[in-house]
């Protein structure tokens, strides 16, 4: 079905931060399959883990114990300060699990219409519930009626949440991204998540964080919430968890961890031995090579160079750059005009980038990027942006 407007390229193989198409042309990947391939392409540790597992056991279903799933659950909950894990196959499914968990939590408290507060500019998935939670009218259009039970507030606005608390007795949870990815790499104030945590504690709400894009080391910590020193009740993961092998997870602690009982939720493929083996290899590699710290250093390097070269150099042609934002290797260059055309231009010159929220160049390079590759991405982006304002072809 024609659900994608695909770029005119087909990739045949990858290695590290590089991809080769079916004509042999080489591309530097600064988007990592949209934050999925944090270890780059064809990482040997993941490849070896998958090959070993596929020769042994791929699937039995969750009717039986799965040793690799148990190991992965223990590793993730320890890293995140959580207690229990539910495994599924994608970020949307992980968020569906969190939404269902919140509703069941509310019903057990006697709330007739359990309501989840979500943010403008958010993205939580394409299923009907996660689509309804998403703060982007464009992706919702045509799929009405949307699922009830969501209240929307401005992101990074604690006062808006306080107003919700005063006027709604049916709220059971808040679902937010620690950094909004699809919304334009929007980074909240330093006190925002702590303020959300305090409000949730005050009113008995679950604090649920969508870490699908921020998780697994991308922000310079294992999880985005760890920059704020808060403890959410629920977090959701996917994307970088298994470096391209489909998997999602919903982690919970406290009352949220005890909400689901047998029969409340399930997934046929969720947490199968193959996906869990890949995820365990990802965790081992990130730990062994200290890639969370590396993401922090690389992200600062790229953002600093972009600020120095774009906010001064390109400004000679007009304002152009409104802001350059980053948290680790989530980097957003917000321009003062639409810039979707730069994706195709970059492709022509062997660089893969992404534009989101119409005016934000989003970079999500792999955590294994070298300094030289980071500098090459900066050079390419600076050239693209400068060409946009000057009207030159590059």
β-pair partners for 394: none
Catalytic residue among 86, 223, 239, 260: 239
Alpha helix (H) residue ranges in the chain: 32-35, 44-54, 67-80, 91-108, 128-133, 137-140, 158-167, 192-203, 273-288, 291-310, 341-348, 371-390
d(CA 240, CA 127): 20
Catalytic residue among 87, 210, 223, 225: 210
d(CA 200, CA 206): 6
d(CA 348, CA 11): 14
- Based on the residue annotation, tell me whether 29 is a catalytic residue of this protein: no
Q: Exposure pattern of 59-69 as b/e (b: 16+ CB <10 Å)?
A: eeebeeebebb
d(CA 75, CA 299): 26
d(CA 109, CA 103): 10
d(CA 161, CA 385): 37
- Based on the residue annotation, tell me whether 239 is a catalytic residue of this protein: yes
- Based on the residue annotation, tell me whether 223 is a catalytic residue of this protein: no
Half-sphere exposure of 14 (CA within 13 A, CB side): 23
Of the candidates 79, 63, 95, 58, the one whose C-alpha atom is nearest the C-alpha of residue 71 is 79
DSSP per-residue letters across 290-354: THHHHHHHHHHHHHHHHHHHHTTTGGGG-S-EEEEEEETTEEEEEESS--THHHHHHHHTTEE-E
Helix axes 192-203, 158-167, angle to 10 degrees: 10
Which uninterrupted H or E stretch holds 235? strand 234-237
Of the candidates 125, 142, 179, the one whose C-alpha atom is nearest the C-alpha of residue 362 is 179
Catalytic residue among 86, 87, 123, 225: 123
Contact criterion met (CB below 8 Å) for 149 and 113:
yes
Instruction: Name the residues annotated as catalytic.
Output: 123, 210, 239
């Amino acid at each position: 079905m024609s659900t994608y407007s695909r770029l005119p390229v087909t990739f045949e193989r990858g290695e590290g931060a590089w991809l080769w198409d079916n004509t042999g042309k080489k591309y530097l990947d600064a988007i990592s399959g949209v934050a999925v391939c944090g270890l780059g392409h064809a990482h040997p540790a993941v490849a070896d883990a998958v090959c070993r597992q596929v020769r042994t056991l791929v699937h039995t279903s969750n009717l039986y114990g799965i040793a690799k799933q148990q190991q992965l659950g223990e590793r993730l909950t320890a890293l995140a300060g959580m207690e229990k894990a539910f495994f599924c196959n994608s970020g949307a499914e992980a968020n569906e699990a969190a939404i269902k968990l919140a509703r069941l939590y509310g019903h057990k408290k006697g709330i007739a219409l359990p309501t989840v507060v979500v943010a403008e500019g958010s993205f939580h998935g394409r299923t009907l519930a996660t689509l309804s939670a998403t703060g982007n009218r464009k992706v919702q259009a045509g799929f009405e009626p949307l699922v009830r039970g969501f209240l929307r507030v401005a992101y990074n606005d604690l006062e808006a949440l306080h107003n919700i608390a005063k006027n709604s007795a049916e709220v059971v949870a808040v679902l937010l991204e620690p950094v909004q990815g699809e919304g334009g790499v929007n980074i909240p104030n330093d006190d925002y998540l702590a303020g959300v945590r305090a409000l949730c504690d005050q009113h008995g709400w679950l604090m649920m964080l969508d870490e699908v894009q921020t998780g697994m080391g991308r922000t310079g910590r294992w999880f985005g919430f760890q920059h704020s020193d808060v403890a959410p009740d629920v977090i959701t993961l996917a994307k970088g968890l298994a470096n391209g092998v489909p998997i999602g997870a919903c982690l919970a602690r406290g009352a949220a961890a005890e909400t689901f009982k047998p029969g409340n939720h399930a997934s046929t493929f969720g947490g199968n031995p193959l996906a869990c083996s890949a995820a365990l290899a990802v965790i081992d590699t990130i730990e062994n090579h200290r890639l969370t710290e590396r993401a922090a250093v690389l992200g600062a390097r790229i953002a600093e160079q972009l600020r120095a070269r774009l906010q001064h150099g390109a400004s000679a042609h007009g304002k152009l750059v409104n802001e350059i934002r980053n948290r680790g290797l989530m980097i957003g260059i917000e321009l003062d005009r639409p810039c979707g055309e730069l994706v195709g231009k970059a492709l022509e010159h062997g660089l893969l980038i992404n534009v989101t929220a119409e005016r934000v160049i989003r970079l999500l390079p792999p955590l294994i990027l070298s300094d030289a590759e980071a500098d090459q991405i900066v050079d390419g982006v600076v050239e693209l942006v400068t060409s946009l304002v000057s009207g030159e072809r590059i």
